[in-house]
Amino acid sequence: MTGTPTAQSKDPQPRRRLVFDGVTKRFGEEVALREVSLSLEAGERVAVIGPSGAGKTTLLRLAAGALRPETGTVTLGGTTITGSAVTLAYQGETLVDRRTALSNVLSGRVGALSWLRGFLEPIVPRTPEPALERLAAVGLADRTDVPVHSLSAGERQRVAFARALMQDAEVVLADEPTANLDPSSRRNVIDVLDAVLDDELLVTALHEVELALEHFDRILGIADGRLRFDTAPETVSDDQLDALFAAGASTPDAATGRPRTETDSPSPVPWYV
Ligand SMILES: Nc1ncnc2c1ncn2[C@@H]1O[C@H](COP(=O)(O)OP(=O)(O)OP(=O)(O)O)[C@@H](O)[C@H]1O
């Protein structure tokens, strides 16, 4: 999957490399990521796979600048991640249900506006055009005035992407963007993400290995907080996948001392916690 030029590239920013250098992240006794080093280039389409509790979400939250590592550094173009250079494409559940798709997408840029204008813009927009463009890019030009509670799960996810795109970020992170979608909507959502991005770096955590191998250029396999492999999809072997998921299954949970299972998985944690 490779980015294609879109209206997004009209206003090019310099695209920078996202680098993890010896990153370890702990939550109390739990080591969520261990000495992870990575260099991700602009334009790459990267899928992060691994068992439940492997550290995928932690990696994305570190990349978003929402968490700081205990050791090591996460940098974009050599500097600490701040502001809107990186965006996390939320899952659909974080949309405001009673508001229209357009209003939700307009709220994606309130951080760049004054307090009062930021409050008013999603309700009485002065410049709805950028939001309308993003909605058209994700295939929802005819759904802009529909309250999001009336949209399908896949459409809601696309509204969430359109909202994230309002930041014009150079790195787009998506945490399980296909969760709760049926198989055809899953593919559609990944295709839409690819189509609306150009030379932005896309990093996506995915449970569905098959989808990751089919649609992404680079696959990061994580288990027990460690980066087990970092390779092109065609070189990922069944043995590597078996070892990846077996590693997660046999890793004792720090809290219980038992092998970790799907049911030990923490509830999804919002990126800003
Ligand atoms: N806010 C937190 N507080 C305490 N522990 C946390 C927190 N966030 C993550 N962890 C722990 O860090 C480890 C990695 O969690 P993370 O959510 O990154 O895994 P994941 O691979 O995204 O899992 P899943 O696929 O189930 O979403 C887990 O053991 C988890 O319990």
pLDDT digits (tens, 9 = 90+) for 111-149: 565 666 566 666 666 677 888 988 998 889 999 999 999
- Per-residue pLDDT tens over the stretch 189-232: 888 888 888 889 999 999 999 999 999 999 999 999 999 999 99
Domain boundary among 168, 187, 211: 168
Per-residue confidence (pLDDT) for residue 124, from 0 to 100: 61
Kindly state whether residues 157 and 214 are assigned to the same domain.
no
For residue 61, the ligand 1 atom closest to its alpha carbon is: 18
Mean pLDDT of 64-70: 92
Phi-psi region of 221 (alpha: psi -120 to 50; beta: other; left: phi over 0): beta
- Per-residue pLDDT tens over the stretch 72-116: 999 999 998 877 788 887 555 678 888 999 999 988 775 565 666
Report how far ligand 1's centroid is from the alpha carbon of 224 (Å): 10
Does 221 contact ligand 1 (Cβ within 6 A)?
Answer: no
Strands of the chain (E only): list them. Answer: 18-27, 30-40, 45-49, 71-76, 79-80, 86-89, 171-175, 201-205, 218-223, 226-231
Kindly state whether residues 76 and 93 are assigned to the same domain.
no
Kindly state whether residues 204 and 260 are assigned to the same domain.
yes
Kindly state whether residues 71 and 35 are assigned to the same domain.
yes
Kindly state whether residues 81 and 67 are assigned to the same domain.
yes
Kindly state whether residues 148 and 79 are assigned to the same domain.
no
Per-residue confidence (pLDDT) for residue 263, from 0 to 100: 36
Kindly state whether residues 156 and 205 are assigned to the same domain.
no
In a domain, 190, yes or no: no
In a domain, 176, yes or no: no
The pTM of the full predicted model, rounded to 2 decimals, is 0.81
Does 248 contact ligand 1 (Cβ within 6 A)?
Answer: no
Report how far ligand 1's centroid is from the alpha carbon of 131 (Å): 33
In a domain, 14, yes or no: no
In a domain, 243, yes or no: yes
- pLDDT for 151 beyond 60: yes
Domain boundary among 149, 168, 187: 168
- pLDDT for 150 beyond 50: yes
CATH code of residue 38: 3.40.50.300
Domain count across the chain: 2
Domain boundary among 119, 152, 168: 168
Report how far ligand 1's centroid is from the alpha carbon of 53 (Å): 5
Domain span holding position 100: 89-168
Phi, psi dihedral angles at 31 (to 5 degrees): -100, 110
**Mean of per-residue pLDDT scores for the chain:** 82
Structure tokens at 107: 């709220």
What is the best residue among 24, 30, 36, 62 to mutate for testing ligand 1's pocket, by most ligand atoms within 8 Å of CB?
30
For residue 273, the ligand 1 atom closest to its alpha carbon is: 1
Which residues are CB-neighbours of 215 under 8 A, at least 6 positions away?
Answer: 1, 45, 47, 187, 190, 191, 194
Of residues 261 and 75, the one with the higher pLDDT is: 75
Does 261 contact ligand 1 (Cβ within 6 A)?
Answer: no
